[in-house]
Structure 1
Amino acid sequence: MQNLFDNMNEGFAIHEVFCDSDGNPVDYAFLEVNKAFEVITQLKSEVIKGKRITEILPNTEKVWIEKYGKVALTGVSDHFVNYSGELDKYFSVSVYSPSKNQFATLFTDVSDIKRLEKILSQEKNLLLTTLHALVDGVISTDENGRIDMMNPAAEELTGWQAIEAKGESLEEVFCIRQEKNILLTQKGGNVIPIEYAASPIIDHTETSRGHVIIFRDYTEKLEKEERILYLSYHDQLTGLYNRRFFEEESIRLNTARNLPLTLAVCDVNGLKLTNDAFGHLAGDELLKKISEILRVECRSDDIIARIGGDEFAIILPKTDAHDAENIVSRIYEATQLNSVNHIILSISIGWSVKTDMRQSMEDVFVSAEEMMYRRKLTESQSMRNQTIKTILNTLYTQNQREQAHSERVSKISVEIGRALGFEYNMIKDLETASLMHDIGKIVLDTALLTKSGEITDKEYEEIKRHPECSYQILKSVDQYSDLADYVLSHHEHWDGKGYPRGLVGDEIPLISRIITVADAYDSMTTDRPYRKAMSKEEALDELSRCAGSQFDSNIVNVFIKLDIES
């Protein structure tokens, strides 16, 4: 028996309980311990035998004395797991009373198990915290396909509460169907697109114990994908198809059943002129208006695309030359009836019909493009001439003083030209150039042109842009292109200190030098918002003073002589 006692793996000890005057246990003594006790507790028998626990381990928790004392006094056995701070160990203890006021303990060290349980508990809490924080829905099932767990995101996505879903079949809670996308029907009946992944839960025996499903709402991602797809085939400004889509459709529709097939190429006339004169926003509005007209006048099966900055193309399946001409006529009529902020619309259209599969689409396109360019030769110039008139009307409507100033400058310039012996054609060039010398002011803010106070350096730099703008506007129209250089140079000075190019002396065109004198004289002798007009005598004196520096001396002398004679 003693041999069994000494060689058992469990620690064993017999104790005697000591109570206070009220009969409450307050201490206990060691009567007998086995070798396993010494190994587990590191307390030697010869040291502790006969001594009390408060002597050996004075900081022993009160709960140990109370639990052991209860067994010793009542004779009722107990089993529990508890932690000893003095020994820094967990013990699984079975305790019974062999006789009155005594108790015997049989115990094992379960510290490693308890620490492992603590680690597992921490990991479980971390996992649960992570699952609850995930924006993706997570559902786990048992081996029978019934819901075991759902995180809050899964509750929101399915419409089911975890408590009510637990034990339900996966198909009931996670109700999905495959169409173009995977669709989840929520508890309330709403349907949302999702993406998901499922994995089996495998135990140590390689047996499936259920599944984990991870899923998310695909709505926003789907909208982004659809938006990207839309942009990849559409022009962002007009909403029409783009060149990529046009080229793909040209291949797809190139079949015998679509013959006769017409390709139309359209080019917006005067877009650059509109951009230069009224700004790119006005040009954008013009393109959008043209696009709207094309949509309205073409048929639902026709493919309309913006294939370049100012170029559009149309694929018209099952359309012969007669039908194509009718559609093009409707487009022309619609453009003539519309405008954008008084800017006229003009478009040149060429078309070609494919009637035989042996014709290549490339050849048909080239043929349509050549026709468009032939029409553009006349239609574009007509439109640009009208746009020039629109620009002048707009400028003069905004600032009537500019109209009067341009007309006076033109009159003075013509008189100087005649005095210099100009021929008729040169007189006409001088008249037109001087009349349009400030057309580039259309790009300036009206408030700046009518400002009553002194202008700032920054505002002056803005005003100095107008000769270049005038040049760009007139250069785009064949009828006025030869005059563009004259208006560009009308603020150049004889000494090279003018703008925009700093030309010197005879480098400045003669017509520009004349306009410079006429412009300066009229400006000095006319009331301006920021100053009163000079007298004619003062203006002539200023011209004379600046002759040879700002002005061509010869032209100043001719003008002064004209003024004296008049």
Structure 2
Amino acid sequence: MSQRIIIDGNDELADLIDDVNEMLTTIEGDKAQLRQSEAEYRYLFDEALTANFIAAPDGKIVLCNRTFAEMFGYPSVNDVLLSHLAQLFPDKQTYPWLLETIEKEKKLEHFEVEMVTLDQRRINVVKNIVGLFTADDQLQQIIGYVLDVTERKRTEGRLRYLGIHDILTGLYNRSYFEQEIESIDKEGFSPVSIIVCDVDGLKFVNDTLGHHQGDHLLMEAGKILRKSLDTSSILSRIGGDEFAALLPNTDETAVEVIIHRIQKKIAAYNEQNRELPLSLSMGYAVRSVPSVSMNDVFKEADNNMYREKLHHRQSVRSELVQTLTKALEARDYLTQGHAQRLEQFVTSLAKAVNLPVQGLADLQLLAEFHDIGKVGIPDYILNKPGPLTEQEKTVMQRHCEIGYRIACASQDLLPIADWILKHHEWWDGSGYPLGLKGEEIPLECRILAIADAFDAMTNDRPYRKGMTVEAACAELAKNAATQFDPHLIKHFLKIIPNISANPPRPPL
């Protein structure tokens, strides 16, 4: 086509030849432009982020791009060619339906379907497919592209899950519970029962042992409740410490059986977990006729639960305090006899400064329970064989506030709660947690501070040997008017020889 016809002259033949040459030039230009366009479109087809393919009418893939091969797990584009579209669908009915739809509708847009890769991994995709037809309406080619939306579908599913579930326990949340109540009201089911449960002492546990322990109790409560209900029940966490169970086709007799089952499972759990027992207050109500609103049934169950909670609130707190005290005793194995020695030291010093006799009992109680807040401090800090870091010191200092909260929850320890809070204050104001100084610090705390320091210095620790009595007394005198009340130090140094000569007997 690059040859040109050359004829001299200006006759009609020459004019015709010129026209032919001009047409040849135009055709060559069009072909070059066509080749360029084809190359551009082929580049777009091959390099697109969508998985592009062309298949023959029989479903065999005759062309695809690298993205298509990678999406379906093929080593290369050539490995895909001549494979069949049907083998990419796990549901054998999908491809025949797709082919039938293309022949009828000519195209298929935004079609979401599950496909399968070469290694049988299932993926979610959006397909857009168009059929190319001959003049007599025969299918010639199937052209399409595929978008992998697996991650999007997974995210959507996760969001749907989070919309109706509580993250901590995996149970349904309050929103879902309210939807179900509304649905039951509309459909008029009866009998329907509701059980409302509240984890007793959760705030106390959070404040003293930390939220991780409170979360543990919540998860265990959820497990026990779920195991106590049948599959038709709907169990939800509807508040910070509150659960509710919706029980279709359950009358009063049946709901009482369920309550008893829950109580038995809690008792069994507590036998195995005495270091942190679980207590639930429970109330229930039953709708016997459809005319009663489910919201009214819920309110009745909730009120019944709170009534039970009020009945045994104090006993639950006392039990928790006793449990924490036992836990501290079990963990504090390095300080055996510490409380007995402290009791002797504080009693002797209190008598030396003429503390009223009626105050001795509370002071002795302080000697025994001043460190009860350590139950909320991690073991690795309590038992660290060496000096604490600054961060660890900050954590350790929380034991005063934790102990204060524990004491406030106990009738027996309430009289010394304020002293537990302040027993690490220093005479010069550099103590914690309040920075009190001088006589702002309760006398009982000042007495305990001296006795506690002396006992700590004269007894062995994992990282050091105990001091002699003489060395400890010298250290106390050195810190008079800074850490300790100087007036009390003078009295203590006078009585210590007699105390050392008569040490307390170890507990039986």
TM-score normalised by the shorter chain: which range applies?
0.7 to 0.9
- Retained in 2: the 8 A contact 1:11–1:36? no
**8 Å CA contact 1:493, 1:550 repeated in 2:** yes
Residues 187-206 of structure 1: pairs in structure 2 closer than 5 A:
193-198=124-129
The corresponding residue for 2:174 is 243
Displacement after TM superposition at 1:498 (Å)? 1.3
- Distance change >3 Å, CA 146–CA 280, structure 1 → 2: closer
- Higher normalized contact order (CA 8 Å, seq sep 6+, divided by chain length): 2
* Matched positions, count: 467
How many Å separate the matches in 1 of 2:340 and 2:9?
Answer: 127
Write 1 or 2 for the structure with the bigger share of helix. 2
Q: Report if the CA contact (8 A) 1:137-1:157 is conserved.
A: no
CA distance in 2, matches of 1:219, 1:345: 42
- Deviation string 1:422-447 (CA, Å, 9 cap, x unpaired) is 354x4443333332222233344444
Distance 1:175 1:396 in 2: 76
Q: Which residue of 1 aligns with 2:31?
A: 117
Shift of residue 305, structure 1, vs aligned partner: 0.7
Out of 303, 308, 317, the position equivalent to 2:234 is 303
Correspondence 1:466 to 2:396 = no
1:231-280 Cα deviation digits (max 9, x unpaired) = 21111221111111111111112357532322222111233343444443
Q: Is the 8 A contact 1:396 1:402 kept in 2?
A: no
How many Å apart are 1:544 and its aligned residue?
4.3
Which ranges in structure 1 are unaligned for 5 or more consecutive residues? 1-9, 15-31, 41-92, 95-104
TM-score w.r.t. the length of structure 1 is: 0.69
Where does residue 393 of structure 1 map in the other structure? 326
* In structure 2, C-alpha distance between the alignment counterparts of 1:540 and 1:223, rounded to whole Å: 69
Superposition RMSD in Å: 4.3
In 1, Cα distance between equivalents of 2:213 and 2:12: 97
Q: Quick check: 1:225 aligned with 2:156?
A: yes
The answer (yes or no) to whether the contact 2:422–2:441 under 8 Å persists in 1 is yes
Alignment of 1:388-467 (within 5 A): 388-417=321-350, 420-424=354-358, 426-467=359-400
Query: CA offset at residue 210 of structure 1?
Result: 7.7
Alignment of 1:184-333 (within 5 A): 193-198=124-129, 212-254=143-185, 257-333=188-264
Distance 1:110 1:374, change over 3 A: same
Q: Which of 18, 35, 45 is the matching residue for 1:131?
A: 45
Aligned residue type for 2:266:
T
Give secondary structure in 1 for the equivalent of 2:223. Answer: helix
Structure 1 residues 145 and 283: alpha-carbon distance in aligned structure 2, compared to 1, 3 A threshold? same
Shift of 1:326: 2.1
Instruction: State the shift of 1:306 in Å.
Output: 1.0
Asked if structure 2 preserves the Cα contact closer than 8 Å seen for 1:13 and 1:106, the reply is no
Larger Rg: 1
Is residue 200–residue 316 contact of structure 2 (8 Å, CA) maintained in 1?
yes
Structure 2 residue matching 1:322: 3-state secondary structure? helix
CA distance in 2, matches of 1:328, 1:151: 63
**2:442 is matched by which residue type in structure 1?**
P
Residues 300 and 216 from structure 1, CA distance in 2 versus in 1: closer, same or farther, beyond 3 angstroms? same
State TM-score, norm by structure 2.
0.76
Structure 2's unaligned 5+ residue stretches are 86-93, 102-107, 500-508
Structure 2 distance, partners of 1:150, 1:415, is 97
Residue 373 of structure 1 aligns to which amino acid in structure 2? Answer: Y
Query: What residue is the counterpart of 1:336 in the other structure?
Result: 267
Aligned counterpart, 1:13 = 6
Structure 1 CA distance, aligned partners of 2:356 and 2:182?
A: 61
| 2:274/2:323 contact within 8 Å kept | no
Match of 1:494 in 2: 427
1:382 and 2:315 matched: yes
Which protein has the bigger strand share?
1
Amino acid at match of 1:232: G
Q: Superposed, which structure 2 residues align to 1:27-176 within 5 Å?
A: 32=8, 107-108=21-22, 110-138=24-52, 150-152=63-65, 162-163=81-82, 172=96, 174=98
Cα distance in 2 between the residues matched to 1:482 and 1:511: 12
Question: Using the alignment, how far apart are the partners of 2:491 and 2:269 within structure 1?
Answer: 49
How far has the Cα of 1:372 moved from its partner? 2.0
